[in-house]
Amino acid sequence: MALATKRTTRKADGGGAKKGGAKPASAKKAQGKKGASKSAAPPEVQQTDAQVLDHLFQTVLSRRGTDPSLSHSSRLLSRGRKKIAQKFGEEAVECLIEAVAGKPAELISESADVLYHLIVMWVDAGITPQEVWQELCRREAMSGVEEKASRPRKTGE
C-alpha cells in the first residue's frame, strides 16, 4: 500500500477508559451521529497504511483476554464470533449508507470503523494482517478476471 497516513496518539480501542466511569474524549468516535468531536489528535508519526493497520492489529491482539470493562476490543472479543460479525456487518452497512449518500467525511469515519471491526474479526479468527497482505499480493500478480475465475464458485452465483 503506497499511501502514507498519520498515526495519532489516540488509543485504538478506547482501552484507557476507567472501570465504571465515562470514556475519555479520545475513546469516542471522531465525528458524526455518535456525538464525539470532529477534531483529531495531532499527528506524532508518519506511517504507511499497512503499518497503521498492523499497529491497530497488535493493539487489538494485546486486548484479547483482558478485562472487558476496560477495553472496547476486549469486550467485543469476549462476546464471541457472532457478535463480532454482527458489529462488522452493522459498520459495513453504515459505510455503504454514507457512500450512497455522497458524504465523504462520514464515509471516511465509517470506513475506519469497518477496518477496526475487520481487525477484531481477524484477531478472533487467528488471522494475521500479513496473511491478508500475502493474499492481496498473490491476487495482484494476475489479472482481475483471471483471479476471479480461479476462485471456487459459491452456490447461487
- For 88-126, how does the pLDDT look when each residue is reduced to its tens digit (9 = 90+)? 999 999 999 999 999 999 999 999 999 999 999 999 999
- pLDDT tens for each residue of 60-69: 999 999 999 9
Is 122 part of a structural domain of the chain? yes
Is 148 part of a structural domain of the chain? no
Is 34 part of a structural domain of the chain? no
Q: Which residue has the higher pLDDT, 139 or 108?
A: 108
Torsion of CA 66, 70, 71, 75, to 10 degrees: 70
Q: Which of 21-30, 126-135, 138-147 has the lowest mean pLDDT?
A: 21-30
Q: How far is 152 from 71, CA to CA, in rounded Å?
A: 38
Global model pTM greater than 0.85: no
CA distances from 1 to 50, 53, 136, 138, 148 (A): 6, 11, 10, 14, 21
Is 82 part of a structural domain of the chain? yes
Is 137 part of a structural domain of the chain? yes
Residue-level pLDDT at 124? 98
Residue-level pLDDT at 49? 75
As a residue count, the chain comes to 157
Is 126 part of a structural domain of the chain? yes
Is 118 part of a structural domain of the chain? yes
- pLDDT tens for each residue of 6-51: 333 334 444 433 333 333 333 333 333 443 334 344 455 567 777 8
> For residue 50, what are the domain limits?
46-143
CATH number for position 98: 1.10.287.1080
Total of domains in the chain: 1
Is 127 part of a structural domain of the chain? yes
**What average pLDDT score do residues 133-156 get?**
83
Q: How far is 2 from 50, CA to CA, in rounded Å?
A: 9
Q: Is 6 helix (H, G, I), strand (E, B) or coil?
A: strand
